[in-house]
Amino acid sequence: MQARVQPETSTGTGEDRRATAARESLIGFGEQFLQLQTIFEHFPEPLIVTDAGGNIRQLNEAARTLLPGAAEMLTPENWPQVLGLRKPFSEEVYRAEELPLQRALNGEEVVAEEMLLRRPEDESVRWITMSSWPIRGAEGIVAGAMIALVDVTPTKSAEISKARYIQRADALYRLSNIISTSGNKLDKLLKAVTILVSKSLGDLVGITLVNQNNEKLHIAALYDPDPTARTLARKLLDESTEIDRDRGLAAKTINTGQPILIPHIPIEDLRNVSLPSWREFIEYVGIESVLVVPMTGRNGLLGAISVSRHAGNGSFNHADQSFLQEIATRTAHAVEYCRLYDSLRAEVMARQTAHQALDVSEGRFRAIFESTALGIKILDLDGNILQTNAAFETMLGRDEHELVGGHFTDFVDPIDQPAARQVFHDIKMSGASYIRFEHRGLHKDGSSVWMKTIFTPVKNTRAEGKNKSPVFIVGIIENISEQKRIQMELAEMSNRLQGSIELERLRLAQELHDNPMQTLYTAIYQIEALKSTVDPKLSVALQSVNDDIKTVLEGLRSTAKELRPPTLFSFGLEHAIRSHVDDIRDKYPNIKISLSLAHDRQLLPEKARLALFRITQQSLSNVLRHSGANEANVRFSFDAEEVRLEISDNGKGFDVPKTWIELVRSGHYGLAGASERIHALGGTFNVRSEPGKSTTVIAAIPWRNLQE
C-alpha cells in the first residue's frame, strides 16, 4: 500500500502544499522501488546488473550463491580469470572482449551462450549459459548491462554421456568387425586393435603377451598417431621385443592381474618405472597419463593392453578403464580363437601329412580338443556329427551319444535352420577358409542358447591340384548368450536414455513456465502499474526495462515451446508441425515452406508423434542452418500399411555418409539421433542427397510395429 502523509494543517501556504505533495510522491516511488528490488532479489536464476563501465552494481541471491565472494574482485577485464570462464570442449579461457558482458556494454544482446564455469579454488566444473542485455538510458545510451546465468550442468551431462555412449558403442562394434575380418591372423588382429584403442582412448598403445613358456613377455603390437613417435616406437620394438616379467607397468599388471590407472605422472617418476629402452621415447613425447589393463581369456591371463596420453592430452579416468577392460577381454578371447584355430589346423594337417607322427599328434589334438573352453564339433560332408568335445556337450546339456550320428541342424533352433543349411552348403562349395555364423542352439531343457560358430573345412592335402576338396568340416562354437543379453540391455538403455531426455525436456519446459516466466509476468504487471505513478523520465526508463523483460519472456516462451510443443499432445502431429512451421515463417520470411499433411486426429501413439515431430524439427533446422535453400516441403501421410514423413529442400546438398556414426564423430548428432528414434520404433530412416543437389529425408514406420 502506498502511504500518504497528511499535511499538519489544511490552511498552509502553496509552498507547503507543494513540499507535502513531493514528499508523498517520493514515498510512493520508494515503496515501488522496494517491490522491484524484492522481485530482483528472489528471481530464481542468477542476475547481475553492472554500470556502463562493467562494474557490478547489484547481484541477486541466486548470483551470490553461484559466485560466492566474486563480486568484490570482478572488473570487466578479469571476469574470465576470476570466475574460470572457459569455452566448451577446447577449455580455452574467454578473452574479456568475447564475453557476453562486454558485448552487451557495446550494445549487443546475447542469449544463452554456453560456457564452462571452472573456479580456480573449486575442482568441480559446471556448464552454464550466460545471457546479457544492454540497459539503455532515456536517450538510448548504454548505461549498463543485465547478466542472466543458468546452470545447465544436468542437461549437458546427459548430452555428453549420450555422445560418449555412442562413441564407445561404435568402437566396440568396430572391434567386433576387426575380430570377424582378421581371418584368425594374430598379427593382423593385434595391429588393428592398437589402432582402434589409440583413436578411441589415447595416443601410444601397446599389447604385451606372455610367451609360450610363460617366462618372458613379448611386445606384440605398438601404435602411436604421431608419425615421428611411431617411428621411434618401432625402432625400440625392433631392439627389445622380449622383456623380463619383473620390468615395466605391463609386467606388473600381468603378474598381479590388476589394472593400473595413473591420472597424472611426473616425467621423473615415469623414468623410474619404464624400461630403459623406452626412456628416449618418453623424453621426446612426454606422458600425461597411463592406463594398463590385463587381457584375461577363458583359460587364464594372456597379457596386457597399455595406453598412454601425450603431455597435455588429458587424464584417464575409471570410465576409460572400464571401456579398455571390455576391449581387452574381447581381444583376449579373439587371441585364444586365433591360437586355437592355428593349433587345430596344424594338428589336423599333421595327421594327414605325417602318418609316422599320428599317435603323438592324436594325443596333442585330444588334449586341445577336450581342454578348450570352446565347443568343437566335427561333421561329415552331409552335416552329420562325427565327434564333439565336452564343452559343446555342456552348452547343449547333452551327452556325446545323444549328439554323434545326428544331423547338426537337429540341434539348431528351427528359426535358424534354413540359414544353417545355407552356411554349411557355402563352406563346402565356395572354397572359403572359414565362415562365421550366429544362431540359437537347442538345449536339452528346451531353452535356446545363442552361439557363434566358425565353420572351417579340412581339405585333403594328398589330392593334386589347387582345388582340393574338403574331407570334413570343423565347427568351433562359442556360447554368446551373455553377449546377446548385454546387447539387448544396451538397446534398452539407449531407448530409456532417449525417453529420459524427453522427460527432462518436459520438466525443463514446465519449470520455465511455472517459475521464471510467471515471475516475469508479475514483474511486467507491477512495472506497468508503477509507470503511472512516477516521474515521466523515470517512466520512460521503466518502459525500457519492461521491454527488456518482455524480450526475455519471449525467448523463454520460444524455448519452452521447442522443448515440449503443446499442440503435439493436444491436437496431434499435423497441428504441431503447422505451428512449428508458422514460427519458422515468422522468423525466416525469405524461405518458402510448403506443407502436405494428413489429418492424424491423434491416431498415432504418443512415442511415434514425438519421434516424427523431433525429426521434422531437426530436418528443418538443418535446412535453415546448412542447406542454403529458399524452398522446403514437408509431407506427412499414412495408410493401412505405414506412416511416412518426408522433408525436402532445394539447397546445396551434401555427401551422405555410409554410417551415421561418421557424423557423430564430427560432432553432428541430429541425423544419427533421428535414425535412432525411428529404428527404435521398428521403422526405416533414409537421407537422399549429394553435393549440388536437393536433399530429402524420409522416415517410415509400419503400422504393425506401432500396434505392438
Q: How many CA atoms lie within 13 A of 620 on its CB side?
A: 27
pLDDT in the model for residue 270: 60
> Distance between CA 438 and CA 481 in Å, rounded?
11
pLDDT in the model for residue 1: 34
* 597 touches 574 (CB < 8 A): yes
Query: Which residue's entry shows cell 572400464?
Result: 322
* 87 touches 100 (CB < 8 A): no
As a whole number, mean pLDDT of residues 80-88 equals: 79
As a whole number, mean pLDDT of residues 453-469 equals: 73
pLDDT band at 218 (very low <50, low <70, confident <90, very high): confident
> Distance between CA 328 and CA 253 in Å, rounded?
13
> Distance between CA 668 and CA 247 in Å, rounded?
44
Please state which of the ranges 124-128, 290-294, 658-662 shows the lowest mean pLDDT. 658-662
| For residue 492, pLDDT beyond 80 | no
Q: Return the percentage of the chain with pLDDT > 70, whole number.
A: 73
* 472 touches 381 (CB < 8 A): yes
> Distance between CA 664 and CA 652 in Å, rounded?
21
pLDDT in the model for residue 571: 62
pLDDT in the model for residue 7: 43
> Distance between CA 459 and CA 433 in Å, rounded?
10
As a whole number, mean pLDDT of residues 202-213 equals: 82
Sheet order of strands, 375-379 included: 385-388, 375-379, 470-479, 448-459, 435-442
Higher-confidence position of 128 and 542? 128
Reported as type and span, the H/E element at residue 488 is helix 481-512
| For residue 9, pLDDT beyond 50 | no
As a whole number, mean pLDDT of residues 330-342 equals: 83
Q: Which of 461, 457, 454, 458 is nearest to 439 (CA)?
A: 454
Q: Which of 667, 673, 680 is nearest to 496 (CA)?
A: 680
Helices (H), 354-434: 358-371, 390-396, 400-403, 417-429
> Distance between CA 689 and CA 697 in Å, rounded?
9
As a whole number, mean pLDDT of residues 164-172 equals: 75
As a whole number, mean pLDDT of residues 113-129 equals: 75
Q: Return the percentage of the chain with pLDDT > 90, whole number.
A: 11
Residues pairing with 595 in the sheet:
634
As a whole number, mean pLDDT of residues 450-454 equals: 91
* 221 touches 206 (CB < 8 A): yes
| For residue 632, pLDDT beyond 90 | yes
> Distance between CA 334 and CA 181 in Å, rounded?
11
As a whole number, mean pLDDT of residues 686-696 equals: 91
Higher-confidence position of 447 and 288? 447
pLDDT digits (tens, 9 = 90+) for 366-400: 666 667 778 888 899 999 999 888 888 888 999 98
| For residue 256, pLDDT beyond 60 | yes
Handedness of CA 282, 285, 286, 287 (dihedral sign): negative
| For residue 696, pLDDT beyond 90 | yes
Higher-confidence position of 25 and 635? 635
CATH topology of 43-151 equal to that of 158-339? yes
pLDDT in the model for residue 271: 59
Residue 188 to residues 330, 635, 650: CA-CA distances in angstroms?
Answer: 15, 49, 46
As a whole number, mean pLDDT of residues 653-673 equals: 74
| For residue 11, pLDDT beyond 80 | no
pLDDT digits (tens, 9 = 90+) for 416-439: 999 999 999 998 888 788 898 889
Q: Which of 474, 478, 323, 460 is nearest to 395 (CA)?
A: 478
3-state secondary structure of 12: coil
> The pTM is what?
0.37
pLDDT band at 334 (very low <50, low <70, confident <90, very high): confident
Please state which of the ranges 167-181, 446-460, 503-517 shows the lowest mean pLDDT. 503-517
> Distance between CA 188 and CA 194 in Å, rounded?
10
Query: Which residue's entry shows cell 625402432?
Result: 235
pLDDT in the model for residue 645: 93
Annotation: CATH topology of 158-339? Beta-Lactamase (3.30.450)
User: CATH for 374-479?
Assistant: 3.30.450.20
Higher-confidence position of 360 and 71? 71
pLDDT digits (tens, 9 = 90+) for 517-575: 666 656 676 677 677 777 777 877 778 877 777 777 666 666 655 555 655 555 678 88
Higher-confidence position of 143 and 28? 143
pLDDT digits (tens, 9 = 90+) for 235-253: 766 555 566 666 778 888 8
Please state which of the ranges 345-349, 402-406, 632-636 shows the lowest mean pLDDT. 345-349
| For residue 189, pLDDT beyond 80 | yes
* Domain spans in the chain, listed from the N-terminal domain onward: 1-41, 43-151, 158-339, 374-479, 483-563, 565-706
Q: Does 3.30.565.10 match the CATH number of domain 565-706? A: yes
- Give me the chain's average pLDDT, please: 78
Residues pairing with 597 in the sheet:
636
Please state which of the ranges 275-284, 311-320, 382-391 shows the lowest mean pLDDT. 275-284
pLDDT in the model for residue 59: 84
Which cell goes with 205?
A: 598403445
CATH of 43-151, one of 3.30.450.20, 2.30.110.10, 3.30.2000.10, 3.40.50.300: 3.30.450.20
